[in-house]
Amino acid sequence: MGTTKGGPFLTIPEMNNGRMVLNFQKNKVRQLGKILIYLVFLYESTATAPNRVSLPDIRKGEYEGMAEKLKQPEWAPDFGERAPHPTAGVTAVGCRMPLIAFNINLATTDMSIPKEIAKDIRFSSGGFRFIQAGPAEILDKGFVQVTMNIKDYTKNPIYRIMETVKMEAKRWGVKVTGCEIIGATPFAALTDSLKYYLACDGIKDDVDAMSMEKVAELMVKYLGLTDFDVKKVLEANI
């Protein structure tokens, strides 16, 4: 829809999200319409209307259809003139939780299985509210994946998604063989899931007192994470 399709500002749950979002709307994004050549839509936590929460909904029509879309009353931009820039187009900016890009490996090459499981767990087809999911084929390694974005790990924790996928995979006679997290992950998302797995094993260790290194090590053990260590903990990089 433009040279910059979207600009997310990540929020940390431990901070006062409500105050951050309000400040963002009132003081920061307003400057974009004045300083930059873009017209701007607000999305996610900063959205000014329900039809603007999802970035794909804003992007629908892309650059070629944006001029007509902007003529509709419900698609007036939040900032800037009501016409796309002839070369830069339109952009969207918003505050959101850090996404967790989580991929689960299935011991099969049958693409219909991750396709069905993804359909079961994603919100758009009746699954978890904060999950976007689809299938992927890993040709060079001979297996398939259920790939997903966890949009709010406080509502849809990693362990719950993992155990649901395991349960659904059993229906097809397929085993989950491991998983991966792409990019950095909030520490709280890891500790929350580790508490679940330790409780299932009857272990009463104080997870909140553990180091990031120890939590990362144990999550590799319980989830079967590949290529994961403390360097992929978000807070370790701040």
**Number of domains, the chain:** 2
- CATH code of the domain in which 129 resides: 3.30.70.670
pLDDT of residue 7 exceeding 60: no
Angle between helices 187-200 and 158-171 (to 10 degrees): 60
Residue 227 has pLDDT above 80, yes or no: yes
Same domain, 86 and 111: no
The overall average pLDDT reported for the chain is 86
Q: Which pair of tokens denotes residue 225?
A: 């994470």
Indicate whether this model's pTM tops 0.85. Answer: no
**What's the rounded mean pLDDT across residues 210-238?**
95
Domain boundary among 64, 96, 128: 96
In this structure, the answer to whether residues 36 and 139 fall within a common structural domain is no
Mind listing the pLDDT tens digit for each residue in 98-136? Answer: 899 999 999 999 999 999 999 999 999 999 999 999 999
Specify if 1 maps to a domain: no
